[in-house]
Amino acid sequence: MKVINLLNMKGGVAKTFSAVNMAYELWRSDYKVLVLDNDKQGNISRAYRRYDAENAAPVAKLLTGEWSLPEELIQATDYDGIDIITANMSLFGAVCSLMRENSGDITGRYRRLFGKICDKYDYCIIDNPPDIGINVVNALAVSEEVIVPVKVDEDALEGLDIVAEQIEDAKAINPSLTLKGVLVTSYQKTDGEAAGLKWLERERERGDSSCCRKYPVLGIIRYSMKVAENTFLRKPIYEYSPCCGAAQDYKKFVTAYTGKGR
């Protein structure tokens, strides 16, 4: 199982939307996918229609260690081949209680599960909150690759160095963790965004592996009115607008990423 972590300290950069659509496109390519909702907002749990506000969320139990069988944490979705570990606000309490505990292996909580299920899925996609808490550290401990979704407008690029530093720190607990690159999201070909993209590509050309500042652009997802209009739907874009730019771009990105077409 390859574990891909979508991380950026900023909100609104399409982490969740990218996670939703990556999982979906991997599934369309016949891969078995596990989605881990690591954000207490539970947005990807909603997208896959498994959000439950009432009970302690599976990801909270995963963090506190209050489970014995993987089946207690993992649910099937409506898509045969996409399973999910859901989140809700109870994740916040779990993070606080783990920080109070501050003993034992507090960064190895997700590892306990992933060791048991690694041959059941081809990919695991982790959607993260826009901050670094003990839940994010646990997720980095089980991840192989980090993809940083970015919008190239305003000051979005500033956050990249921070993510790169977090990943360098996380290598202490997971030496094989790799910052794979950035996924440019919601891209509009304005002068400003075109300049931002150029900057990213220049960074890459300068690429020096001893330095954190190396951000290969893995894909560019176009801004699409269809996405903006249907924010409330939160469904995989392919399901309501298969021909729009964003749907095509997620497909292209995932195909290039896995090196396999449908």
Ligand X SMILES: Nc1ncnc2c1ncn2[C@@H]1O[C@H](COP(=O)(O)OP(=O)(O)O)[C@@H](O)[C@H]1O
Binding site for Mg ion (CB under 5 A): 15-16, 43
What is the distance between the alpha carbons of residues 157 and 137, in angstroms, rounded to a whole number?
A: 22
The answer to whether the beta carbons of residues 127 and 15 sit under 8 Å apart is: yes
Encoded one letter per residue, x for contact with ligand X by CB under 6 A and - for no contact, window 157-176 reads --------------------
* Residue 179 CB burial class (10 angstroms; 0-12, 13-18, ≥19): buried
The residues, any chain, with a CB within 8 Å of residue 200's CB and separated by 6 or more, are: 150, 152, 157, 182, 184, 215, 217
The nearest distance, CB 214 to Mg ion, in angstroms, is 25
Q: Which of residues 204-233 bind ligand X (CB under 6 A)?
A: 221, 223-224, 227-228, 231
**Distance in angstroms (rounded) separating the CA atoms of residues 247 and 146:** 22
> From the CB of 130, what's the least distance to Mg ion, in Å?
7
Cα–Cα distance for residue pair 19/37, rounded to 1 Å: 9
Rounded least distance, CB 16 to Mg ion, Å: 3
Helix (H) or strand (E) holding 179: strand 178-187
Residue closest to Mg ion when measured from CB atoms: 16
Nearest to 126, CA basis, from 33, 247, 3: 3
Which entry of ligand X, Mg ion, none binds 115, CB below 5 to 8 A by partner kind? none
Residue 124 interacts, among ligand X, Mg ion, none and using kind-specific CB cut-offs from 5 to 8 Å, with none
- For position 185 contacting ligand X by CB under 6 A, the verdict is yes
x-or-dash pattern for ligand X, window 243-262, by CB under 6 A? ---x----------------
Considering only 3, 17, 46, 110, the residue that binds ligand X (CB under 6 A) is 17
In whole angstroms, what is the distance from residue 71 CA to residue 150 CA? 34
Residue 90 contact partner, candidates ligand X, Mg ion, none, CB within 5 to 8 A by sort of partner:
none
The residue within the footprint of ligand X, chosen from 3, 4, 9, 13 (CB under 6 A), is: 13
Q: Which is nearer to Mg ion, 15 or 109 (CB)?
A: 15
Determine the 3-state secondary structure of 4 from DSSP. Answer: strand
* Residue 208, C-beta contacts closer than 8 angstroms, at least 6 positions apart: 214
Binding mask 34-73 for ligand X (x = CB under 6 A): ---------x------------------------------
Instruction: Determine the straight-line distance between the first and last CA of the chain, rounded to whole angstroms.
Output: 19
Between 105 and 131, whose beta carbon lies closer to ligand X? 131
Q: Which is nearer to Mg ion, 35 or 203 (CB)?
A: 35
Residues forming contacts to ligand X in the complex (CB under 6 A) are 11-17, 43, 185-186, 221, 223-224, 227-228, 231, 246
